[in-house]
Amino acid sequence: MSGHIPDLELSRFAHDPDSMEPDRAAEIERHTARCADCGTRLDFYMVTEDPCEAEDAKADELLRPYFESPARAARANLRRQREFQTGGVVRRLNARAHAIVASEPLAALTHADNAQGIADALPNELYPNHAVYELRGTAWKERANALLRLGRLSEALDSLERAERAYGRLRFPGHGLAAVELVRAAVYYRMGELERAAQHADLSAHAYAQLGQRHRGMKALYLQGEIKYEAARYEEAAQIFRQVIDYGEELNDAEWIAKGAYTLAHCELDCGKLGEAAVLFTKALTILREIGPVADRVSAESGLARVVLHGGNPTEAIRRLREVIAAFEQMGMVSDAAMASLDMADAFLVLKRPEQIEKIAAHAFRVLKKAGVLTGALTALAYLKEAAASRRVSPAVIDGVRRFLRRAEREPELLFIPQSDTFS
Count the alpha carbons within 13 Å of 280 in the hemisphere toward its beta carbon: 23
Query: What pLDDT digit, counting tens, does each position of 86-108 carry?
Result: 889 999 999 999 999 988 899 99
Gyration radius (Cα) of the chain, Å: 23
Q: Around Cβ 254, how many Cβ atoms within 10 Å?
A: 15
Lowest mean pLDDT among 171-180, 231-240, 386-395: 171-180
Q: Quick one: which of 174, 109, 168, 171 has its CA closest to 142?
A: 109
DSSP 252: T
Q: State the SS3 of 358-413.
A: HHHHHHHHHHHHHCCCCCHHHHHHHHHHHHHHCCCCCHHHHHHHHHHHHHHHHCCC
- Note the pLDDT of residue 131: 84
**Cα–Cα dist 232/267, whole Å:** 9
- Note the pLDDT of residue 48: 61
Query: What pLDDT digit, counting tens, does each position of 319-338 carry?
Result: 999 999 999 999 999 999 99
**Cα–Cα dist 283/278, whole Å:** 9
- Note the pLDDT of residue 33: 79
**Cα–Cα dist 115/145, whole Å:** 14
pTM: 0.71
Residue 47 binned pLDDT confidence (cut-offs 50, 70, 90): low
b (16+ CB within 10 A) / e for 324-362: bbebbbebbbbbbbbbbbbbbbbbbbbeebbebbbebbb
Helix (H, G, I), strand (E, B) or coil at 126: coil
Q: Around Cβ 83, how many Cβ atoms within 10 Å?
A: 10
Given a cut of 90, is residue 222 above it in pLDDT?
yes
- Residue 258 or residue 77, greater confidence: 258
Rounding to the nearest 10 degrees, give the CA dihedral for residues 256, 259, 263, 269: 110
**Cα–Cα dist 262/182, whole Å:** 20
- Left (φ > 0), alpha (ψ -120 to 50) or beta: where does 171 sit? alpha
- Note the pLDDT of residue 375: 84
Query: What pLDDT digit, counting tens, does each position of 227-271 carry?
Result: 999 899 999 999 999 999 999 999 999 989 999 999 999 999 999
Q: What is the mean pLDDT of the chain?
A: 89
- Note the pLDDT of residue 422: 42
Q: Are 82 and 123 in contact (CB under 8 A)?
A: no
Lowest mean pLDDT among 1-10, 28-37, 77-86: 1-10
**Cα–Cα dist 191/285, whole Å:** 27
What is the mean predicted confidence (pLDDT) over 279-304?
Answer: 92
Peptide bond into 293 cis (omega under 30): yes
Given a cut of 80, is residue 424 above it in pLDDT?
no
159 Cα distance to chain centroid: 15
Given a cut of 80, is residue 194 above it in pLDDT?
yes
**Cα–Cα dist 418/400, whole Å:** 8
- Left (φ > 0), alpha (ψ -120 to 50) or beta: where does 393 sit? beta
- Give me the amino acid identity at 97: A
Query: What pLDDT digit, counting tens, does each position of 118-164 carry?
Result: 999 999 888 777 889 999 999 999 999 999 998 899 999 999 999 99
Helix (H, G, I), strand (E, B) or coil at 422: helix
Q: Around Cβ 293, how many Cβ atoms within 10 Å?
A: 17
Q: Are 163 and 181 in contact (CB under 8 A)?
A: no
The DSSP line for 28-56 is HHHHHHH-HHHHHHHHHHHT-SS--HHHH
- Give me the amino acid identity at 416: F
